[in-house]
Amino acid sequence: MCGIFGCILKEGDAAPIVHDALKRLEYRGYDSVGEATIHDNKLFIKKDQGKIEEVHALHNLDNLPGRIAIGHTRWATHGAPSMRNAHPHIDCNGQIAVVHNGIIENFSELKKDLEEHGHLFQSKTDSEVVPHLIEEKLKGGLTFLEALRETAKHLEGAFSLAVISVMEPNKIFCIRKESPLIVGIAKNATYCASDIPAIRPLTDKAVTIENGELVVLEDEGYKIWRIADWSRISRNPKIIPWSPEMAEKQGYPHFMLKEIHEQPPSLRNTLRLQEKYLDLMTAFLDRAKDVFLVACGTSYNACLAASYMFSKLALLATHPVIASEFIEQQGRAINIDSTILAVSQSGETADTLSAVEYARLRAATVLGLTNVIGSTLTRISRVYICQQSGPEIGVAATKTFTAQLSVLAQLAFRLAEKRGKVSHEEIEQLEEKLIQIPDIAEIVIQNQKKKIEQIAKKYYSKQCFFFLGRGISSATALEGRLKLLEIAYVPAIAFPAGESKHGPLSLVEKGFPVVFVCPKDENHKTSVGNIMELKARGASIIAIIEEGDEEIKNIADDYIEIVKGVPEVLSPIVYVIPLQFFAYYTVVHRGLDPDRPRNLAKSVTVK
């Protein structure tokens, strides 16, 4: 996830406006920043690695001439944060500048082809193919607009682009496929941006650009075409109903709620990872004698779920270990044959990094899964994968958890296939299902959130909760418990439901709330038995079940239904969503701030 912005002023310098707008887009990415302007038929560019104000302090982003400008704030997906990888990117002749948000899936093939035609690339990004491709199309005698249309047809993936060129010095060209793009209309200016926060203080009139559309901004306003059939689209601006403050959270009252809703697109991004890194990591996992899945907090819960995926699909036993215990628990067993898969959203968690450093000293292989390219974890891992969720601002991890699970599932699928442990057909079916998961997540979010809000209202003042599940659902339960505990300050206990009778059951009395994650999998029958035992002792059961599970509906006090047909190994990705909402609404009913729980930080860089 990155932020793009563009601006055509009737008069005055555009650069300071772009600089300010990028600050409002910083929540979309903040590892690099850049701006390009056009003045006197020349392109002027400033860009560098670092947060906007750091780059501004070094380069003065306001000091670029021209009334037309584009800008970019980056969250790296391809190529570590660096000056070269920062946007805007240009063609060989320095006549076209491009900013891009999204992922160009076929960039390797395009780059190879363009290099064969003599193009020289400056960066390691996927985005740089765009100015070179436009340049190549122009060589064939097309107009700039035609070249852009042809370029768009060759790009696969998700992207929104803003392009300026000395060949068309009074215009900004934009293209949208999936990644968001809006146009803002003011009296003396026209803008384009990834998102409303960027333009909201400048205007309250916006046009949403739809998938597969190309838009040209000029002094007189904007023109939209549908790329596929080159038909002109007429669309009037609408009034933005949000104040500038509300716009930052896209109208949601909290970042956590916004990020829960961002899970469908974030899950779609995980399906666009580069195959070669997934394959490389799979090869290392396949070769390993012992595999340790090392992480803290939510990332540990993802590892726990992954241990079920690896053993059920690839018949590979792995050891999920809480990072702060890794050295004590496993240290002496680590050697050259060990592989450590460290999972960390931030890539900076001190406990995870010290486990990794220790493993490296003992010559183990380190693999990393993180959301932050350029983080310490990416620098010390032999192979790393970036989950591409974009920045997560709420302290409680939500969209990054489900994205971690999606990546780990993809690794498990590949490993299963490589090891020949599961039939090709079965893997294909699972892959098909994984592709449907973002849509299923969307349905759960839209259909169930009202009901979960009501359930949270009923239980928000309870003093203590159990979160239970069996099999892989015990990892889902653990994550649901962490969400409630960390943001609502409600003591909560999670354990595999089979453990109840070995101690925790003594806590249960009339009205004791138990959240039970109970998909219709191999454990269903036993889970029903556990629910009956709890009910017999007076527990109130809130069950997360598969749609139409009448057996549990009849015994639970409250239930949330999840769309049918989610395979067991993928169930945590969807079944955790009601638990995220449950924690969120409990916090709201308790009058607390879910984004800033006391005593906690987003990234824990001390041991």
- Judged by the rule CB under 6 A, the positions of this chain that interact with ligand M6R are 296-299, 344-346, 349, 352, 395-397, 482, 486, 600, 603-604
Q: Is 39 helix (H, G, I), strand (E, B) or coil?
A: strand
Residue number, 9 or 395, with CB nearest to ligand M6R: 395
Closest CA to 586 of 478, 509, 483: 483
Cβ–Cβ < 8 Å for 494, 465: no
By 3-state DSSP, what share of the chain in percent is helix, strand and coil, each rounded to 5?
45, 25, 35
Structure tokens given for 295: 């992480």
Residue 173 or residue 581: which is nearer to ligand M6R going by CB? 581
Supply the minimum distance, in Å, between the C-beta of residue 18 and ligand M6R: 31
Query: Least distance in Å: CB of 195 to ligand M6R?
Result: 24
Q: What is the nearest approach in angstroms of ligand M6R to the Cβ of residue 384?
A: 13
The residue number whose beta carbon is nearest to ligand M6R equals 297
Task: Please answer whether residues 431 and 413 qualify as being in contact, where contact means their C-beta atoms are separated by less than 8 angstroms.
Answer: yes
Taking the complex as a whole, the smallest distance from the CB of residue 299 to ligand M6R amounts, in Å, to 4
Burial label, 362 (beta-carbon count in 10 A; 0-12, 13-18, 19+): middle
Of 137 and 483, the one with the shorter C-beta distance to ligand M6R is 483
Query: Taken in order 140, 142, 148, 153, is the CA torsion positive or negative?
Result: negative
Report the nearest approach of ligand M6R to the CB of residue 579 (Å). Answer: 12
End-to-end CA distance of the chain: 30
Buried-exposed string 180-192: b where 16+ CB fall within 10 A, e elsewhere: bbbbbbeeebbbb
Which helix (H) or strand (E) segment holds residue 314: the answer is: helix 297-314
> Between residues 296 and 545, which has the closer beta carbon with respect to ligand M6R?
296
Cβ proximity to ligand M6R: between 270 and 530 the closer is 270
Candidates 48, 37, 45; CA nearest to 13 is: 37
**Distance between CA atoms of residues 205 and 194, nearest Å:** 15
In the bound state with ligand M6R, the residue whose beta carbon lies nearer, of 47 and 399, is: 399
- Smallest gap, in angstroms, from Cβ of residue 303 to ligand M6R? 10
Give the residue from 494, 492, 500 showing the smallest Cα distance to 533.
500
**Residue 569 CB neighbour total at 10 angstroms:** 26
- Helix spans in 315-343 (H): 323-330
Active site residues: 2, 602
Q: Which is nearer to ligand M6R, 199 or 395 (CB)?
A: 395
Cα–Cα distance for residue pair 550/234, rounded to 1 Å: 50
Shortest CB 584 distance to ligand M6R, Å: 12
